[in-house]
Amino acid sequence: MQNTRPSILLIYTGGTIGMIRDAVTGSLRVFNFETLLDNIPELKQLNCNIHTFSFEKPIDSSDMNPNHWIHMAEIIESHYNAFDGFVILHGSDTMSYTSSALSFMLENLTKPVIFTGSQLPIGDLRTDAKENLITSVELASLQKDGLPIINEVCLYFEYKLYRANRTTKVNAENFQAFASYNYPELAESGVHLKINYPYLWKQNANGSLRVHKTLNTNIALIKLFPGITEGFLGTALSTPQLKGVILETFGAGNCITEPWFINLLRETIAKGVHLVNITQCIGGSVNMGQYATSSQLKEIGVISGKDMTTESAIGKLMFLLEKEISYKDFKNAYEMSLRGELS
């Protein structure tokens, strides 16, 4: 590999980046990625070989679901030995959800998997698609001593490369659509590519790639708000076959202290349902016990999501629920950093 050009597989799943505007009608249609190099000749200047793979039917990011995540993981698995890196083109709305989930599903990953997309179609005059695509491919092809420099699932958007499971979409209007508030960017694109080596995932892979293809979707996401009622919360926590719940709490993990609230959570945990506490704040961390309004959660066994994003917390919950482990071991695993998703 050392003296050969890296081979990158470009996987198109759907989204704005894969659309081009018809010059006559002005309507958007799917871009033909088989003619990628003809339409974006700049890619030929990169020191890599690019191959493409497209979903048979492009998926709008709003329609993305865990079955599509599994399909992406299977594509990577089946092409893993033939390629040095992977770039996944995806709609931006749920990109953080998909890329976070993939980070858990791809165990012992030793090659880059970089998600990117755009706010404008690839054929628009002012599009951000070309820069996002070109730089993502360049980052995926970076090597040292014949081995990839990046060994994790990432997200690249508007000049910055992030650890995927640390990101969230923060703007639907600006080109700078994503942010990572609790972890620094892994690379920045300017006149030169600046790689922040100390922040890259240090892979201690014990064995070959292991792809986890089952996810448990019997979960709920509940955002606390002033005035939340016992009836609403009780109904949500009584959902049939419920296995896990993510509670978006206030500040550093604080919540309502009324007896009915704590009793409902205690009863839910007693049924074997895992409750995870993450903060509604886009930056910062849960610290149960720091204030009296969170100490009861810690006492009854609520799991701390620490500084995880909502998107990462959901992916990790679906992933761990498929493991047949005790409540205590589940709690320990959830509160441990598996793919750099928490500090």
Question: What pLDDT, on the 0 to 100 scale, is given for residue 9?
Answer: 97
Q: Which helix (H) or strand (E) holds 96?
A: helix 95-105
Question: What pLDDT, on the 0 to 100 scale, is given for residue 32?
Answer: 73
More confident of the two residues 37 and 249: 249
Domain 219-334 of CATH type 3.40.50.40? yes
Residue 39 backbone phi and psi in degrees, to 5: -90, -25
Q: Percentage of the chain surpassing pLDDT 70?
A: 98
Intrachain domains 7-211 and 219-334 with the same fold: yes
Contacts 24+ apart (CB under 8 A), 63-71: 64/13, 64/90, 64/91, 64/94, 64/97, 64/98, 66/101, 66/215, 66/217, 66/318, 68/13, 68/98, 69/98, 69/101, 69/102, 69/105, 69/215, 70/105, 70/213, 70/214, 70/215
**Structural class in CATH, domain 7-211:** alpha beta
Of the listed ranges 19-23, 110-114, 133-137, 291-295, the least confidently predicted one is 19-23
Q: What is the pLDDT of residues 1-34, one digit of tens each?
A: 445 899 999 999 998 887 777 777 777 777 777 7
Confidence band of 134 (pLDDT split at 50, 70, 90): very high
**Region 320-335 average pLDDT:** 94
Q: Which helix (H) or strand (E) holds 263?
A: helix 259-270
CA distance 146 to 340: 24
**Region 220-232 average pLDDT:** 97
Q: Give a three-class secondary structure readout of 51-92.
A: EEEECCCCCCHHHCCHHHHHHHHHHHHHHHHHCCEEEEECCC
Confidence band of 205 (pLDDT split at 50, 70, 90): low
**CA neighbor of 171 nearest in space, from 64, 63, 284, 92:** 92
Question: What pLDDT, on the 0 to 100 scale, is given for residue 87?
Answer: 98
Residue given tokens 């149960």 in the structure block: 288
In the chain, where the domains are located: 7-211, 219-334
Q: Are 140 and 147 in contact (CB under 8 A)?
A: no
In whole numbers, what is the pLDDT of the chain averaged over residues? Answer: 92
More confident of the two residues 30 and 77: 77
Sort 23 into a burial class: Cβ within 10 Å, 0-12 / 13-18 / 19+: exposed
**CA neighbor of 83 nearest in space, from 204, 199, 209, 187:** 209
Question: What pLDDT, on the 0 to 100 scale, is given for residue 3?
Answer: 55
Question: What pLDDT, on the 0 to 100 scale, is given for residue 1?
Answer: 40
Confidence band of 41 (pLDDT split at 50, 70, 90): confident
Question: What pLDDT, on the 0 to 100 scale, is given for residue 126?
Answer: 85
Positions annotated as catalytic residues are 16
Question: What pLDDT, on the 0 to 100 scale, is given for residue 4?
Answer: 85
Sign of CA dihedral 302, 271, 334, 80: negative
Q: Which helix (H) or strand (E) holds 157?
A: strand 153-157
Q: Strand, coil or helix: what is 11?
A: strand
pLDDT higher than 50, residue 281: yes
Q: What is the pLDDT of residues 174-203, one digit of tens each?
A: 898 999 999 999 999 999 999 999 999 987
